[in-house]
Every structure is written in structure tokens, then in C-alpha cells.
Chains A and B, each alone.
Chain A
Amino acid sequence: MKKNWTTRVAVALLALTMITSCFVGSTFAKYVTRAEGEDNARVAKWGILLGMEGDDMFAPEYEADDESFTGSDDNDDPILSVRVDPDYDGDITDLVAPGTTNDGFKATIVGKPEVAVRYTLHIDPDWSDVVLPAGEYTDFTKLVKKGNEQSADDPEYGYYDTFTLDEDYAPVKWDIKVSKNGGTPIGLVEYAFAFNEQLALAMGMTRDGVSATNAANIVKTYSTQLANLLLSMLNDQGEAGASNAVFTVADDGTIDLSIDFDPNRSLDFEFSLAWKWPFEQGEKIEENPDIYEFDAADTWLGNFVAYKEFGECEDYAEEFDAAEQNGAAYTIGFKFTATATQID
């Protein structure tokens, strides 16, 4: 019996294995089952508003700063020290002159978009600046006695002295000011001097600002430093999320400033352009009366306009015409465009 049970069990196992391996269910039931899912989203916010004011960047008249000047008409209020000639019938009635200043141009950006934004200020290539190129010019500040180099026909006293400019002179200086949420504006020039005076001087900045002509050259050479300064100014105003500031000057003279802002940043910035023609520029070279380094250049430019727009100072027409051929200019103007573009 003992020997038989193992054999029987082995046979039974074999049968079971064969049955199991070919076992197939012989009855089926049909089923149907369903599943569904969905998701929903909305358009991300844009909502950027741009503003620009600049019609009164320059003016036909300016108030006097010198309180000792009272004007001839007691009824004048305010007292003007610069005023366009009422008989002038030319096209350009807005003026700039030594001592004048304005910060009338403002560009604003407001909004809190949910996408990254690139804000760009663009200056068209046909901008112009008041410039007196490097060279030698008649010094109209000094009426001197005729010297040996003058001819016998020349008057005994005349404008026989000259002055020399070693480099181009652009008297009107600019500064970019930035404010957030209507706060106190910070000027780029002041910020640059406070950050690193040596770098600011190396870039060609003066404490009065930077001329448009020099700005173009500064941007070409120091675009990275300028951009970093501007970014610091923006981010110091609190969570601006500003990055990738880029200054560029194209070959055709187009100037662009672009700044990127992160998504979800409260954008409420005002960029203002302030200009001034300092009354006294450069070093004081004489005293009593005080004469400054660029007084002669400013005076020359004033007579240049008198010749070009009013036909005056014709005795020096040859010099004025030659200077104009060489790049001397007495008009200043810009066309700005501001854009805000989503960054992909």
C-alpha cells in the first residue's frame, strides 16, 4: 500500500496538471464601463496701459532765475529771461538757451500682467542735437583791438580772438529719471555718480547730465554698465522684477532702451527725460566778470542762430556756413515710441 500511494499520487498530479493547463471558462458576460475627465483654464491677463507726454518738452519762453533781473515791464508776471522773437516767422518757435531746463517728457507703464513683458523706448533715427564740432571759432565774447594779423581795412576793434574746441560740444544735457507708484524720481546720472563716480566720469557723464550726442557714444561703449545701473534703479524701487535692460544704438542712429519684467509684477513706472543747458559750463577761466570755459561756444551758437534764422551776423557768414558743413547744428528734437510686448 505504501509503495502504491506514491504512484497513484503521481498519476493524479499528472492528470491535474493536464486538466489545469487546458482549462477554459466556458461562460461569458458582457459589460460596458465609462470614464470621463476634463480641465478648464482662462486667458492670462495683459492689461498694460502706456502713456506718453512730451508736447511741452521745449517752450518758446522760460522764466528768469536771476532775481536781480526784473524786466522792463512791471506788469510782466512771470518775468521771462528767454522768449522767442515776436516777429519771428520761421517754423521753430520753441527754444533752448543757456540756463533753460525742462523735464516735460514722460513715459509711463501701468499694469500687472500674468505674462512677462518687454518695455521698449525707441528714439527715431532722425533725432537732432545742438552741436558745435571740434575746431577753431571766432570768440564773440571778446571785442579786442586789432592786432598785426589783421589788415589795415579791418576796424580798430573787432572779434579778432578765437577759441578752440578739442572735441565736439553739445551743450544740452539729458538725464533719465525713474519713479514707481508716483514716488520720488531717481536720476540715472545722480545714481551713477553715487554708485561709482570714476565709472560715471569714464563714461563721459557730467553731473548736469549727458548730451544726446555723447549718449549715443556712451551707449555704444558702456551699454552693459548703463543697463545694470538702470536695472538697479528699477529694482531698488521695490519688487520691480526687472531684468535684461538693453541699450542699443543702431548704425542709422536709432536709440532703443528695452527692459524685461517678470510676470505678475505690479508695473507702475514713470520714465521722465529731463534736459538742461547749464548756464555756466566747464571751468571758470576768468573772474570779474566770471567767464566760463564754454561761454564762447554758447555765444557762438547764439550768433549762429541769429545768422541762420534772422539773417544777422552776415559778416561771419563764411565761418557759419563752413561750420554747418562740418556738422554744427542748432536744433534739437526727438521722436519717441513706447511699446510693451509679451515675451514668448
Chain B
Amino acid sequence: MANSKKRRNWLLPTTLILFILSVITLSLMAVVTYAWRSEDPTHLLTFENEKLTWDENTEVGENGVAHLSFFNTYYQNVNSENGDNVFAPGTEQDTLIRLKNNSDDEITYTAIAWTIKECDILELTGDFRAEGATPTNNYEGLLPPNVTPDDLLGVGAVTGTVSAKGIQDFDIGWEWIFERGDEVEPGIYESDFPDTYLGNKAAWDTADDSTIGFAIIVEGETPVPTPPTGQGSMIYWGIGLVAVAGIIFVAELIFYRRQKKKEEQEEA
């Protein structure tokens, strides 16, 4: 009887400790850390289940190429007549594409951005930045068929890694500077002549256009779970463990209190 009581006395704290341990284990399994920029991305590309998926607001064509929003139909003092995306001297735009790694493992990416201009005198300049990424010359398989290395923006191809549940931002921007070159007359700049030519061509002939594109490859390794029972995540084991430990602890607590009460009554 005395031994039984002794074992009962340590059983309650033991089950409590087990319960706490299981909660900690669960939190370690479930902890997700994201480092967000305060700025909302224009497009969100999520990596999960070995696939890259654009956000629901980004249209994807039948050929798998997404329709991104690098241009607009209006800017300050510029407004498209027919709903086409346009650009003009003095216009500019920056676009943020965010890669979100929803998997539980680190991934490696290689990304590029490019621009193709229909006319050589079109002074549309672009830039491509990815903080934390490093330049690379290894971008095999990324270049679309009609894009050459000379068309790449910024430093060219960049590569880097994204930790599990981490993010990587890609900034793609362009601008058409309003006044460029020397001022040949008061208020008249060298660039006014080709710019006016392009504007008139857009009005009286066919407008020249420009394309900006973005491509990314993600590589990684996915663990094969053991035993291969078909479960996809250990998180459910953790939840089950917590539940069982909790139940055991509560049951032990109830039994312990009843036992104590009984002993007190017997002593009385």
C-alpha cells in the first residue's frame, strides 16, 4: 500500500511533464517563420508539393506562361485610349514578385528577367534586383526561345536559396526618362525628337511595343517518409501525442484526487 502510494505521488508530476514535452515537440514541428517585407507583392509565387503556383489573381495562359502586371493602362498624365497597356516618356513602374517556400525544406532558385523592345530607339530601361541573391552564369533552361542573354535585365541571372517557410523577393522595374540628352533649345531636349517620332508612329502607323518577362527554376530535395504509410506529415503524430499525453495526465489527476479524498476519509 505504501509503495503504491509512493508510485502514485510521482505519477502525476510525471504525466504533467510528459504533457509539456509533447506540447513543445508539437510546437517545434509546427513552428513556421516568415520574414515579410512590409510591401505587398504584385505577384506571389508559392512553392509547395514540388510545384510553383501563382496566386489566384494572376492569370496563367494555356501555355503555362503567367500574365504579369509589369505595365499599366494609365499613369499620371497618361491614359490608354483602348485599354492596351502603354508607356510614354515620363512613365515608370516597379513590380514585386515574391517567392514563398511553403515546403518544409530549403530550396534553391535561379531567376532571370528580360526585356524585348520592338524598336532600337525606344529608350525603355529596366532593372532586376533580388536582395540576398548572387549573380550566376548558369541559367540553362531558363531563357525562353526568343530571348537572348543581351536581353537580360540587371546583373542577369541570379541564384540563391530560400529556407523552409521563407521568402525571396524579386524587384523588376522599368522607366522611360522624360528628358534625356542635351538641351538643344530652351525646353527642347535631344530625346524629344525620337520620342515624338515614336508617339506619332503610334498615332498614325503601328505603335512599337515592349515585353518584360520573368522566369524562375526551383530545385530541391524532398524526404521520403519512413515507414511509407502514406502519411504526408509528422504534424499529425505530434497532435496525437499531445492528445494522448493530455488525456493520461487528466485521468491521472482525477484518480489521484479521488484517492487522496478516500485516504482522508479513512483517516477521519
Contact = CB atoms under 8 A, between A and B. Distances in A.
Interface of A: 3, 6-7, 9-10, 13-14, 16-17, 20-21, 23-47, 111-116, 262-264, 341-344
A33 B103 CA distance: 14
B213 A114 contact: no
A35 B222 contact: no
Contact of B81 (A34, A37, A112): A112
16 contacts: A13-B15, A13-B241, A17-B18, A26-B223, A36-B216, A37-B67, A37-B213, A40-B210, A44-B202, A44-B207, A45-B81, A111-B203, A114-B80, A115-B88, A115-B89, A342-B178
A36 B213 contact: yes
B86 A37 contact: no
B241 A17 contact: yes
Nearest to A265: B79
A232 B156 CA distance: 54
B209 A42 contact: yes
B127 interface: no
B164 interface: no
Contacts of A29: 221-222, 224
Interface in B2-18: 4, 7-8, 11, 14-15, 18
Interface residues of B, number: 86
A3 B89 CA distance: 85
A48 to B, nearest CB: 8
Contacts of B64: 36
A22 B204 CA distance: 71
A343 B89 CA distance: 9
A26 B224 CA distance: 7
B248 A10 contact: yes
A20 B237 contact: yes
Interface in B83-127: 84-91, 97, 122
Nearest to B122: A43
Given A17-B21, A262-B79, 15 more contacts: A6-B248, A7-B7, A7-B11, A10-B14, A13-B244, A37-B43, A37-B65, A37-B213, A38-B68, A38-B211, A38-B214, A41-B84, A44-B86, A45-B199, A113-B203
Contacts of B202: 42-47, 114
A31 to B, nearest CB: 4
Contact of B178 (A41, A262, A344): A344
B207 A33 contact: no
Given A10-B18, A17-B18, A34-B216, A45 B85 contact: no
Interface stretch (B32-40, B50-58, B128-136): B50-58
Nearest to B210: A41
B30 interface: no
Given A25-B225, A263-B77, A40 B241 contact: no
